[in-house]
Structure 1
């Protein structure tokens, strides 16, 4: 007898969730869904909007003391913790050929070290509850795109951090990475403003599907190591992991076509790329 798909998930009612980046596009949608389903949700965000249908505590994940204080407040409100969803993250223009500046440091500080800080502040509660950590990483953790080296590097580092955490806590806490592609949100604004939009390199996917994947990662009775968000994403993930030279060639051809079509003309940060590839030489 086949067990219905939904029956293979834990009942969300009464489960305690902490979601970072809770006022952003993905975090808010996830928190709203879990709250409607009967879960107890508290969020962390650097700029709460104030109209979220669940508690959101102001927290800058780059602040060591602030994270410890906000996490303690959240855990007190929840009375423990069953699932931590590390969703907070930022993107921005960061070509690999240029020296790492403030933009690179910002992305690493928030995406990687912010995730690390929040997780460390919650470890004891997660161990006590035999809970779960969900890392919202990115397809770019395995399939890098050009002109966004800091984001890809930070998300690949998050996946590596998840691997280490899984080995250390695996007797009591499961750790799952979710790999969405691009979702339409303000995270892409600074890249577009710099003239480095990667539209045409990455296909936007529905927000609903990303929330579905994170919910599955959080509630599946049998914890999963990695969760992709679309069938196309599953294929890309497999190829990037097992045939990276193939995905390298696909991305390189697509990128060259975009450069020669003038997609980055006038973008100061892409001047080297345009000079090397734009002429076709």
Structure 2
């Protein structure tokens, strides 16, 4: 039984859904699953693919003009809007100790401001339908990993934005944040290419569990505030929220071991981390 057909969940048949990042790993799976369950789904993506499982409109989430145009076209095709899934996101190397450059701005613009632009363009339709918003955040919104400061900052800011939306729209629109851990997908490619792979820093989880949780967030009769995607993720979420010194210590020790063992050998962006750990000996 999937998370979208269990007890306490609404039938998604006929649900009018807009999904951002619809041509990516998560987006294609979300769109395909919803469409198979009878929902009417339109996607937005900067680079739609010919084999996308639903109609995907080309949209640059960093463009203040393109976003409301694409959202209006999607809502018109759907005949209204019941559920917005802000799934679009990118990652990349961004050490916190280095000045913010184009990579940092790109992640913040897509992961945070892209969701903000799309949501703002959807508000009227969602209020009219008493709809839902699902934010695909990240475990890194509460438990930051080193050398990827922009991604964690963008996802933590996305949660803060969701909190503000909940206060402003909560009388009419439900808002849920979903917190996946790492899933094997191309989002990690640029980090790995820079020599800053997450291997050894994070445990990977199956994609299906993430999709189940996203659908649960959008289909549950009761609006959930926060949803983790695994039991381990729920424990990490609790610890990071209530005992952050515990998760800080675990991550710091793991980083130190990786730096000493040569995991960042030749990685220019990690040179400072390696040097500081070497100088502690």
Matched-pair contact (CA < 8 Å) for 1:139–1:181: yes
Tell me, which stretches of 5 or more residues in structure 2 are unaligned? none
Query: Hey, what's the Cα distance between the residues in 1 that align with 2:53 and 2:182?
Result: 25
Instruction: Provide the residue aligned with 1:257 in structure 2.
Output: 257
Q: Does 1:73 align with 2:73?
A: yes
> Per-residue displacement from partner, 1:116-139 (whole Å, max 9, x unpaired)?
000000000000000000000000
Q: Is residue 18 of structure 1 aligned with residue 18 of structure 2? A: yes
Deviating above 4 A after TM superposition, structure 1's stretches of 4 or more consecutive aligned residues are none
CA distance in 1, matches of 2:187, 2:56: 20
Distance (Å, rounded) in 1 between the aligned partners of 2:89 and 2:241: 23
How many pairs does the alignment contain?
Answer: 278
Q: In structure 2, the residue corresponding to 1:6 is in which secondary structure?
A: coil
TM-score under structure 1 length normalisation:
0.97
Specify the alignment match of 1:35 in structure 2: 35
Task: State the match for 1:111 in structure 2.
Answer: 111
CA contact (8 A) 1:194 1:269 kept: yes
* Structure 1 CA distance for aligned equivalents of residues 198 and 207 of structure 2: 18
Q: Is the 8 A contact 1:260 1:280 kept in 2?
A: no
For residue 7 of structure 1, report the CA deviation from its aligned partner: 2.9
Corresponding residue for 1:224? 224
Match of 1:187 in 2: 187
Listed as ranges, the matches of 1:192-207 within 5 Å are 192-207=192-207
Shift of 1:280: 4.5
Q: Which runs of 5+ in 1 are unaligned?
A: none
Residue aligning to 2:177: 177
Q: Can you list the C-alpha shifts for 1:16-40, whole angstroms capped at 9, x where unaligned?
A: 0100000000010010000000000
Shift of 1:265: 1.3
Could you tell me how far 1:278 is from its partner in structure 2? Answer: 3.3
Aligned Cα root-mean-square deviation (Å): 1.1
What SS does structure 2 have at the residue aligned with 1:164? Answer: helix
Match of 1:246 in 2: 246
Give SS of 1:57's match: strand
